[in-house]
Amino acid sequence: MKNIISKIFGASFIIGLLCIGTLSSFRNQNKQKATSPVDEPTPRIVNIVNFIRLLEPRDAAITEDVLYQTVVKQVEIMKKYKLGGTFLLQYDALIDPRYQKLLKALPRDSFEIGAWWEIPQPQVEKAGLKWRGRYPWDWRANIGFSTGYTPEEREKLIDVYMAEFKRIFGYYPKSVGSWFIDSYSLNYMYQKYHIVASSNCKDQYGTDGYTLWGGYWNQAYYPSKINSYMPAQNEKNQIPVPIFRMLGSDPIRQYDTGLGTTRQGVVTLEPVYKFGGGDSAWVNWFLKSFTEDKCLGFNYTQAGQENSFTWDAMAKGFEIQMPLLARLRDEHKIRVETMETSGRWFKEKYKVTPATSFAVSKDMEGSDLKTVWFNSRFYRINMLWENGTLRIRDLHLFDESFPSVYTKQVATSNECSFFTLPVIDGYIWSKPDQIAGLRLKVLIDGQEVLVKGKDPVYSQTQAGHLHVTWPLTSVKGSFEMDMDEKRLKMKLVSDHAYTWYFDMTTAANAKLPFEAILDNQIACSFEGMDYVFKPIRGSFSKPGNGVLFRLKPKMNTVLFDLSTIKKP
């Protein structure tokens, strides 16, 4: 769940969400899309997902009727613009006759009915279990989510839901969404009921007590059988259900929001935000970038809103977004489809988690920030350009053998945490006056300076490969970066032989995973998992003066194979 008060009244953040490319390449792609939208190389996929709860115990003014009328309005505006989508039902809403009648009337060829996986009192008691909540729906991780129940209890809860859903609609749901679902439940739903798609919350730290941090940043991934948040590296160890990342997270500002505090704010496409999904200037900017920038693999975002926010709060954003989505669909610039359709497409196209990218090539007016996220089944990396300089802001590694405690054990607190393996963490390792990251520097006349340059240029040289060219101004030449699913390569291209390197700094007293920084590797340990950050070409040193480590090139090149992270 999302904290309603904090979302509506506490968020005033600028949001942006873009992918990589050029307008000319988009025009070529768009011509292809007009004749064969399914086979286009880099589709822009939008799922309009509205999930439904029966009641809202946190606010007496939000009655069951207010929640129902919110869904009625969502249906009306989607029908008005001939937009299909997905409605996900929590069990208490599933068994309510009003929602049954409303949703059964929707045409099956454009609307999907699925499951929203938060656990309310009627579902628990129907499964023969004791309800421990404060209210008939309690959003705590150990009560309102499957993480609060044993594997055997999870099976009972799933069986109860699926039997009721089939009794009402005549079939089992194909999509199941939640802020987080444990891998045991997800695999059980796949094996017994053959679900084809799932979704979880965007990356966030501490928001509403839920931390999902360091994962596959956007689009979708196949999870490990022992960790629903961790992308699997091998087909045999993955649950073959793609998990789509929800909410349209801002690739620049979401990451740093709330830096130095115990929880992040929320910076998303959700229409309740007055500055974001509810602001026409931002929405137009976001969707223009979403459609015109070329992506690696595909680009994805989720529109829509949970009914707990009520129609009054989300109406403005819906009325901005829906006609614009309809126009872009009619212009063949986006695919608006159900989560089930997207899940089937993903499974047909990808046997393992693909390499994708997501970037900002032009920020909102008044800002020169630019960024690129690259994701694969082995790692994610984020680069941020600010004031003409480069900072590698984030690097997390993925390992399918890294277990989640929630796969078999029961959550014992009202909070939960999902992590991957950190190498660079520009959020957790920062304070407002000490921003962590790996910064590019060069020696000029014996003086160390931050490298500066112009706008980065992104290109796809081959399938699954992202190339970034950064034209430099402080020195002659360009800085070139190449990323594919396993490797990261960086070099300075110039007629002059410059001395360059990356320096890593963090906030003082940051809790770091580094056990030993050696010339040829950095040994790490995090949550009981040992791993290494080891270059094929390049070396590390510890220069001191506040620099945690220095990454130096060898023969003008830094090269990593990030698919080999285990300690030898």
pLDDT > 90: percent of the chain: 79
Second-level CATH architecture of 360-561:
Distorted Sandwich (2.70)
| Integer Rg of the chain from CA | 23
Over residues 185-193, the mean pLDDT reads: 98
Residue extents of the structural domains in the chain: 360-561
Global pTM reads: 0.91
C-alpha distance from residue 280 to each of 9, 50, 222, 269, 275 (Å):
19, 20, 34, 11, 9
* pLDDT level of residue 41 (50, 70, 90 thresholds): low
Q: Give the span between the Cα atoms of 204 and 359, in whole angstroms.
A: 18
Any idea what DSSP says for residue 255? T
Among 27-31, 263-267, 334-338, the range scoring the smallest mean pLDDT is 27-31
Are the C-beta atoms of 369 and 386 separated by less than 8 Å? yes
Alpha carbon distance 233, 251 (integer Å):
24
Closest residue by Cα to residue 148 from 524, 421, 412, 450: 412
Cα–Cα dist 242/244, whole Å: 6
Are 470 and 478 within 8 A, CB to CB?
yes
Query: Tokens 């020169």 label which residue?
Result: 368
Pairing of strands 535-537, 557-561: antiparallel
Kindly give the interhelix angle for 280-292 and 23-35, rounded to the nearest 10 degrees.
80
pLDDT digits (tens, 9 = 90+) for 365-396: 889 999 999 999 999 999 999 999 999 999 99
What is the pLDDT at residue 125? 98
Which helix or strand (DSSP H or E) is residue 481 part of? strand 478-483
Say how far apart CA 378 and CA 485 lie, in whole Å. 7
pLDDT 10s digits, 510-555: 999 999 999 999 999 999 999 999 999 999 999 988 999 999 999 9
pLDDT confidence of residue 539? 97
